[in-house]
Structure 1
Amino acid sequence: MDEQVKHLVDKVWDKFLQTPPERRFMIGIGGIPGSGKTTLSQIVTAELNKRHAALDPSHPSHTPTPIAAFVPMDGYHLTRAQLSAMPDPATAHARRGAEFTFDGPSFLRLIQALREPLPVPVPTPADRGAGGAYPPGTVLAPSFDHAVKDPKEDDIPILPSHRLVVFEGNYVALDKEPWSTAARLMDEVWFVDVDFAVARRRLVVRHVKAGIARDEAEADRRAVENDLPNGEEIVGKRLPVDEVIESREDRAWIHE
């Protein structure tokens, strides 16, 4: 994994240094459930922030403002109430995680908002707006609250100082609207490739650990009946991408 990460971080950093100061550099990382895309996204984000911090080694006690933000697509799940309001609520709940159970238009609006020019000079986190918790130009994204099993609105602040933004999600590279329009607004789109059998094993462990399934048999059934069919669509309708990353069967790729 280390060699792949170094290649990706080097590539992004070189391109970022050529990016105008009023523009964000955005990366979308797609892949099937269990591919390791969340793990890769978090590592790339951390490495980009390390690269930024190394630009000012004269003050080791000073923690620079992170320049990279990580935004998972989980916050764009439709709520359980929205699923219950669908024509076939039982299927909607059973297939949660399928493309039709995500709020694609809202995800696209987030990407469009982040494509708006940044103020120059870029406000820092200390530059609070009048009565505001964040500096002017901050864009808020939802997260996913696993305790309540629903999105949490406005929980991820993407500050003006976050000039690198890493997105990850099942449908980031899907050749279907509105995902394809969102992908075209990215500077880089990557896809994490994995053998379906490897993904299946990872999903069983994950579902049991997260409490989504009571035991391995139920977890495997969920993987076979929902996650892997979603994966077939993700692979079958994949957009052309800038990088295909191989997810190997080692613990470095497992999202805890």
Structure 2
Amino acid sequence: MTCETVYADATDPVHLAATRIAALAEGRARLLVAVAGPPASGKSTIAARIADALDDAVAVPMDGYHLDNETLSARGLLARKGAPETFDADGFITAMRVLKTGERTALPAFDRAADATVPDAIEVPAEARIVVVEGNYLCLDAAPWRELHSLWDYRIALDVPIEELRRRLTERWLEHGHTHEDAVRRAEANDLPNARRVMDEALPVDLRIVG
């Protein structure tokens, strides 16, 4: 697989990605695009913009597959929420296989205010020829996540410097009402280790967006 690398401050990565994806989609019933990257890298924004630039395309997040807090507490994983092991990976993989068939599919969403998933909140109609999926671990080279690799028709990775991620993640926790000390602690203890894993254990992609 040959990977293109573009710099967001010098090139319009959305236009480039949309052009590549549109060419691949010709004559296809359903195309699945992965937008992978660490937390706070801008995945949801990029995925939405790519979907908006394409015909018959929708963007969907992976976040609806967070395990519920009760389950995480029972497993001693609540403090690690957002790590690979805190998602229903098998359920997500099954849903992506259904999406690949072109069938209408209902997917869960994640309500950040309630810190809980909302079942069947996102509908992907059969008419959607392109589904742009965004999430941290879509290209992670670890079981069972690597099973996704063969399902993606086009793979995009977002590459943001750790210092910028640290700034964004700290700001995110501040916006949720945490003190600066607690915001920094949460970013350093959980978010940034997850970010490093996303970047260090990634499978090959088709397009790498730096910035």
| 1:74 aligns with one of 63, 69, 89 | 63
Checking the alignment, whether the CA contact within 8 Å between 1:69 and 1:164 is kept in structure 2 is yes
Checking the alignment, whether the CA contact within 8 Å between 2:32 and 2:130 is kept in structure 1 is yes
Distance 2:149 2:141 in 1: 9
Distance 2:206 2:146 in 1: 14
The one-letter code of the counterpart of 1:74 is D
1:9 aligns with 18
2:127 aligns with 161
1:108 aligns with 93
2:36 aligns with 30
Checking the alignment, whether the CA contact within 8 Å between 1:28 and 1:183 is kept in structure 2 is no
Distance 2:100 2:46 in 1: 23
Distance 2:69 2:45 in 1: 26
The one-letter code of the counterpart of 1:98 is A
1:98 aligns with 83
The runs of 4+ residues in structure 1 deviating greater than 2 Å are none
1:229 aligns with 193
Distance 1:175 1:43 in 2: 26
Distance 1:34 1:98 in 2: 14
1:176 aligns with 142
1:27-55 Cα deviation digits (max 9, x unpaired):
0111111211221111111111xxx3xxx
Distance 1:232 1:6 in 2: 28
Distance 1:158 1:227 in 2: 29
2:5 aligns with none
Q: TM-score, normalised by structure 1?
A: 0.76
Report sequence identity in percent: 35
The one-letter code of the counterpart of 2:183 is A
Distance 1:39 1:184 in 2: 24
Checking the alignment, whether the CA contact within 8 Å between 2:31 and 2:100 is kept in structure 1 is no
Checking the alignment, whether the CA contact within 8 Å between 2:170 and 2:187 is kept in structure 1 is yes
Listed as ranges, the gaps of 5+ residues in structure 1 are 53-66, 119-136, 248-256
Listed as ranges, the gaps of 5+ residues in structure 2 are 1-7
Determine helix, strand or coil for the equivalent of 1:184.
coil
Distance 1:29 1:205 in 2: 23
1:206-227 Cα deviation digits (max 9, x unpaired):
2222x1x512221111111101
Distance 2:183 2:57 in 1: 34
| 1:138 aligns with one of 74, 85, 104 | 104
RMSD: 1.3
Q: TM-score, normalised by structure 2?
A: 0.91
Paired residues in the alignment total: 202
Distance 1:36 1:94 in 2: 23
| 2:117 aligns with one of 130, 143, 151 | 151
